[in-house]
Amino acid sequence: MKDEKPGLFDSPRNVKILLGGFYICCIALLVLDFVIHRHIIHRWESLWGFYPLYGFVGCSILVFVATWMRSFLMRDEDYYEKDQHSDNQQKQLATQKGANDVDD
Amino acid sequence: MWMIELPPFAPFFIGALLVLATSGVLRAAIMLVVPILGALNLWMTPEGIHLQLMFLDYQLIPYRLDKLSLMFGYIFHIAALLGIIYSLHLRDTVQQVSAMLYAGSGLGAVFAGDLLSLFVFWELLAFTSVFLIWARRSQRSFAAGMRYLIIQVLSGVILLIGAIFYAKEHNSLAFDYIGLDSVAGWLIFIAFGIKCAFPFAHNWLTDAYPEATVTGTVFLSAFTTKVAVYSLARGYPGIELLVYIGAAMTCFPIFFAVIENDLRRVLAYSLINQVGFMVVGIGIGTALAINGAVSHAFNDVIFKGLLFMSMGAVLHMTGRINGSELGGLYKTMPKTTVFCIIGAASISAFPLFSGFVSKSMVMSAALEEGYDWIWLMLLFASAGVFHHAGIKIPYFAFFAHDSGIRANDPPLNMLLAMGIAATLCIGIGVYPQAMYSLLPFDTGYNPYDATHVLAQTQLLFFSALAFVWLNKKGLYPPELPSTNLDIDWFYRKVFPKALHRSSIMIIKLDSNIRQSAQQKMETQLSWIRAKCQGGKEGASGNYPLGSMTLWVAVVLGVYLFLSVLK
């Protein structure tokens, strides 16, 4: 497909507009904290910007910890199949050589 | 008046038989009609006990209907219908029959009024659903299905032992509040916990669900865990331990979900996270919390089903499901993209979507009952679920970098099923009163006050901001083709290896012992032999066999001669 229509987000301008709108929403939500009176149950809720801060920091920590977890949890894609494959290969080799012959 | 009180599982079991006997359009029609008729049957039936029989002095109640089970009954019919529409294009008798039996088993379990009937359906759930995994017909899915089956059957066996203990202690098999003050209570709790994917027992889910077929995963995501949630809500409401277990379930899977590459496995992790919210609600045990747990189970079946359907559509059309191989699909799969985003918004609990109206009940209940730390964990998990299921799934599948794949939207029946699920997600979110009226308790809860809406929107937008920031800075972990170790590492790698090593050691030890024994015997024998030959006074020497025969012949000859003489 050579003359394919470029997608909506192929142009950097559209992406910029989208992100700009998103940032404005974020600021507006922060400002709303002053305007709207909430009924709070927990005292932390009365802190200004508690929810935005918690969401932002929480997610950043989530990603940093998860990235760090990769250092000891990540293995190859065929990690669990590898042993079986090598076993099968060995078996094939063995049968070729006749090493598993019961009469030996 | 409705005359025949057919237990809800019966239409599905009969339907499965009919499916087996028919094919083509007729089969499709039967599969579509069964959940609709089943739901009508359920709707017409009043609450109460509708079927009971005696078994060895114990009363069995295979069909009991009350508000709690009714809620699960309705959602299972909806899930079955959605799954059937989604899989209408299939020409695979094994999957179609096992899906019908599986849905029927789920319905049987939630309407079982005694522990023995529950056990029967509990095991049927395992045996019927495993074919949805095996139907992928690959070595990988066969092994995953086997592990799934072993763990599920184990859970059933523990349930049976617990039920026997329970019957001895209480002289009854009735399935009501059980509690944790006896051995039986603990055994049944563990059995429920395994099926509910409690931490350390959760791996069967993330192992097997992504290995099932495209349509099979949609069915799987709906029934098994929700039956376990129902059973916990029935047997263990208000058990404080559940609050802590549930909170752990909401938090730990999101870390795995962030680094997982297989997008259906990401959804499997987020399924555990969502079930965690339900378990917390059951553990808190107030009317609001139980309502929250049940309604969240109701919504989860729909939005998690929708997400699995959209990822299934991607797998079906492209043959790929790894985040590292996908991207840019919004250009050619626009409808699937929109449906996926609706599912993502629902699971993230955006206001006006279904997750919001149920999850906020659990969160409010946690705050009201003074579980401050638990509330903070749930808040973190809410932000996290948006991060991995709300953003990561749609972003890496449909946007991100262009993978060059140009796949079209899936067949009409798949789109229709996703469309219905998406409509339900928005419908329940906009007008939650319809669902609230079905709930076990009347709490007069209203999710749409300014406080809740603002707090949730702020939380979600700034979580998204974190994603944008991390992505721009290049700090977001890229999707990599990989396997991440989880608890299954112990039973897929460590134990088999240890077993292999120990069996090698045992074989070695055994051969050593034999060899040394043989050597000892040899020396003994040679000592005896030396003694016999050397001194000529032993019990036997090295006489040839021939001479022995000769002497026997001579003796017999002499004997004959003597007898003739006489």
pLDDT in tens, chain A (104 residues): 445 677 777 788 888 999 999 999 999 988 888 777 777 777 777 777 889 999 999 999 999 999 999 999 888 888 888 766 555 555 555 444 444 434 33
Contact B380 A51 (CB under 8 A): no
Average pLDDT over residues B52-58: 80
Give me the pLDDT at residue A83, please.
67
Q: Are B329 and B407 in contact (CB under 8 A)?
A: yes
Average pLDDT over residues B176-184: 91
Contact A62 B384 (CB under 8 A): yes
Q: Which of A5, A9, A32 sits opposite B454 (nearest CB)?
A: A32
Give me the pLDDT at residue B334, please.
93
Contact B477 A25 (CB under 8 A): no
Q: CA B289 to CA B283: how far, in whole Å? A: 8
User: Residue B53 — very low, low, confident or very high, per pLDDT cuts 50/70/90?
Assistant: confident
Min Cα separation A82/chain B (Å): 11
Q: CA A15 to CA A26: how far, in whole Å? A: 17
Contact A55 B482 (CB under 8 A): no
A10 neighbourhood in chain B, CB within 8 Å? 402
Q: Are B216 and B133 in contact (CB under 8 A)?
A: yes
Give me the pLDDT at residue B534, please.
61
A101 membership: H or E segment, kind and range: none
CB distance from B453 to chain A under 8 Å? Answer: no
Roughly how many angstroms between the first and final C-alpha of chain A, as a whole number?
A: 63
Q: Is B218 exposed, middle or buried (0-12, 13-18, 19+ CB in 10 A)?
A: buried
**Which residues are CB-contacts of B547 (< 8 A; sequence separation ≥ 6)?**
none
Percent of chain B past pLDDT 90, that is, above it, reads 71
CB contact residues (below 8 A), chain A span 9-68, against chain B? 9-10, 19, 22-23, 25-26, 29-30, 32-33, 36-42, 45, 51-60, 62-67
Average pLDDT over residues B501-517: 95
Q: Are B389 and B260 in contact (CB under 8 A)?
A: no
Q: Are B332 and B407 in contact (CB under 8 A)?
A: yes
Give me the pLDDT at residue B263, please.
93
Answer yes or no: is pLDDT of B305 > 60. yes
User: Residue B211 — very low, low, confident or very high, per pLDDT cuts 50/70/90?
Assistant: very high
Q: CA B485 to CA B466: how far, in whole Å? A: 26
Q: Which of B455, B456, B470 sits opposite A63 (nearest CB)?
A: B470
Q: CA B137 to CA B123: how far, in whole Å? A: 23
Q: CA B323 to CA B421: how far, in whole Å? A: 24
Min Cα separation A84/chain B (Å): 11
If we measure between CA atoms, which residue out of A77, A72, A39, A60 comes closest to residue B383?
A60
- Residue B124 vs residue A100, higher pLDDT: B124
Retrieve residue B536's tokens: 């000529």
Average pLDDT over residues B322-348: 92
Q: Are B335 and B405 in contact (CB under 8 A)?
A: no
Answer yes or no: is pLDDT of B35 > 60. yes
Min Cα separation A51/chain B (Å): 5
If we measure between CA atoms, which residue out of B263, B189, B158, B268 comes closest to residue B488?
B268
Q: Are B123 and B159 in contact (CB under 8 A)?
A: no
Cβ atoms within 10 Å, residue B338: 17
Using CA atoms, how far residue B410 sits from A33, B318, B414, in Å, is 44, 10, 6
B475 neighbourhood in chain A, CB within 8 Å? 63-64, 67
Contact A55 B493 (CB under 8 A): no
Q: Which of A26, A57, A73 sits opposite B461 (nearest CB)?
A: A26
Q: CA A15 to CA B360: how far, in whole Å? A: 32
Give me the pLDDT at residue A92, please.
55
Residues in chain A: 104
What's the DSSP call for residue B532? H
Q: Which of A1, A60, A73 sits opposite B470 (nearest CB)?
A: A60
Answer yes or no: is pLDDT of B543 > 90. no
Give me the pLDDT at residue A97, please.
46
Ranking B269-278, B336-345, B430-439 by mean pLDDT, the lowest is: B430-439
Q: Do β-strands B58-65 and B48-55 pair in parallel, antiparallel, or remain unpaired? A: antiparallel
DSSP A2-49: TTPPPPTTTSHHHHHHHHHHHHHHHHHHHHHHHHSPP--SSGGGGSTT
Give me the pLDDT at residue B36, please.
94
Cβ atoms within 10 Å, residue B91: 9
Residue with tokens 């603990």: B186
pLDDT tens, residue by residue, B217-253: 999 999 999 999 999 999 999 999 999 999 999 999 9
Contact B480 A51 (CB under 8 A): no
Answer yes or no: is pLDDT of B30 > 70. yes
Helices H, strands E: what count in chain B? 22, 3
Residue among B142, B273, B363, B458 with most chain A CBs within 10 A, to mutate: B458
With helix as H, strand as E and coil as C, how does B232-268 read? HHHHCCCCHHHHHHHHHHHHHHHHHHHHCCEHHHHHH
Contact B459 A54 (CB under 8 A): yes
**Which residues are CB-contacts of B47 (< 8 A; sequence separation ≥ 6)?**
B65, B66, B67, B70
Q: CA B350 to CA B328: how far, in whole Å? A: 24
Answer yes or no: is pLDDT of B397 > 60. yes
B386 membership: H or E segment, kind and range: none
Q: Which of B331, B384, B477 sits opposite A59 (nearest CB)?
A: B384
CB distance from B372 to chain A under 8 Å? Answer: yes
Give me the pLDDT at residue B541, please.
57
**Phi, psi dihedral angles at A89 (to 5 degrees):** -60, -45
Q: CA B479 to CA A23: how far, in whole Å? A: 26
Contact B450 A38 (CB under 8 A): yes
Inter-axis angle of helices B263-284 and B372-385, to 10 degrees?
A: 160
Angle at B78 between CA B76 and CA B79, to 5 degrees: 60
Give me the pLDDT at residue A100, please.
41
What's the DSSP call for residue B477? P
Q: Where are the alpha helices (DSSP H) in B473-494?
A: 488-489
User: Residue B134 — very low, low, confident or very high, per pLDDT cuts 50/70/90?
Assistant: very high
Residues in chain B: 566
If we measure between CA atoms, which residue out of B311, B338, B481 comes closest to residue B397?
B311
Q: Where are the alpha helices (DSSP H) in B209-239?
A: 214-235
**Phi, psi dihedral angles at B48 (to 5 degrees):** 135, -175
Q: Which of B140, B259, B462 sits opposite A55 (nearest CB)?
A: B462
A66 neighbourhood in chain B, CB within 8 Å? 255-256, 258-259, 477
The pTM of this model reads 0.88
Average pLDDT over residues B191-211: 93
Contact A63 B466 (CB under 8 A): yes
CB distance from B468 to chain A under 8 Å? Answer: yes
pLDDT tens, residue by residue, B81-113: 999 999 999 888 999 999 999 999 999 999 999
